[in-house]
A and B are shown apart, each in its own frame.
Chain A
Amino acid sequence: MARDDLGLDTIVAGLRCRDVLDALSDYLDNSLLTERRLAVERHLAGCDRCARFGGDVSEMLSAFRRALPAPSPIGVERSARLRASIKHAQGVAPT
């Protein structure tokens, strides 16, 4: 059951904060239909808590994309081991 001691059922510009929370990822991915996106933006313009939270999550995701180190490339040796194992499975002598 949904709880509302957080104030998520507060309605601003015709939308509950809970609805904006549900739509947040799609909003950040710009994958909401135009009408829905505009409704979310009207809510955000009048709701400090949702605007702050959305900004926090967006900022965190940007930092995450920059922060997580790219995995090391496969490398010549690992690639060679991969190809040798495939050739072995295929019953073909590695070249």
Chain B
Amino acid sequence: MSTTAEDDAALLRRTAAGDLSAFDTIVDRHEAAVHRFVMTLGGDDVDDVLQETFISAWRSAASYHGTGTVRSWLLSIARNIHRHQVRDAVRQPANSALTIPLDALAERAGWGRDPAEQRRLDTALARDVLVRAFRQLMAEEREVLVLRELEGYSGDETAAALGLTVAAMKSRLHRARLHLAAAVRQLDSPHPESGGAHGT
């Protein structure tokens, strides 16, 4: 465990014992990371999620047992609050995307494609296509891609933040990458099919 992680854990113990200044330091250290995570998850209530996350963390500081980093613990709280808010606001469709067989997913992502198939990831179009493809993914897929690809968190920390085992996190990451590749391929096609990357 890193020194920072030990310090964070000590700060939370002091928080649980009533030391408000200790929690101020936790906020100083982690508000930027939690904010980035919440922003990437999307939604209109960034302030609400951010505030509820830290208030919840302050109230439950005694429940932190040091099995992951404090940062991953905060992200897991943010994720749960975000999901509750989204669930309350919009009933989510059934998530068939997470159960598509890997073969079919790989095919959509371009496994076995014709070598002559045009790919334009190196063009100015790529940025827009990649951003749109990312936004098509399910929340579970966006979360794992943000933590691993963009934030560069370790496998252990990502798994802890998502409440998954490392093996389950890896499986989700693999599928998320293939889904992203499938969505990019579909959007980047000169003749995109209807239905999106998650269509059947």
Contacts and interface: CB of A to CB of B under 8 A. Distances in A.
A7 B149 contact: no
Contact of A25 (B24, B40, B170): B170
Interface residues of B, number: 49
B39 A82 contact: no
Contacts of B51: 81-82, 85-86
A42 to B, nearest CB: 19
A68 B112 contact: no
Most chain B CB inside 10 Å of its own CB: which residue of A29, A61, A68: A68
- The B interface, classified by DSSP as helix, strand, loop or mixed, is helix
Contacts of B112: 6-7, 49, 53
B50 A82 contact: yes
A56 B110 contact: yes
Given A64-B130, A86-B23, A71 B36 contact: yes
Interface in B111-161: 111-113, 115, 119, 121-122, 126-127, 130-131, 134, 145, 149-150, 155
Contact of B58 (A25, A49, A90): A90
A21 B171 CA distance: 12
A64 to B, nearest CB: 5
B55 interface: yes
Interface string B53-67: 011001100000000
B54 A3 contact: no
9 contacts: A3-B103, A29-B155, A56-B109, A60-B181, A63-B126, A64-B130, A70-B150, A71-B35, A90-B20
Given A64-B180, A74-B31, A89-B55, 9 more contacts: A7-B112, A52-B115, A60-B184, A61-B177, A64-B130, A64-B149, A78-B35, A82-B51, A83-B24
Interface of B: 20, 23-24, 27, 31-32, 35-36, 39-40, 46-47, 50-51, 54-55, 58-59, 101-103, 106-107, 109-113, 115, 119, 121-122, 126-127, 130-131, 134, 145, 149-150, 155, 170, 173-174, 177-178, 180-181, 184
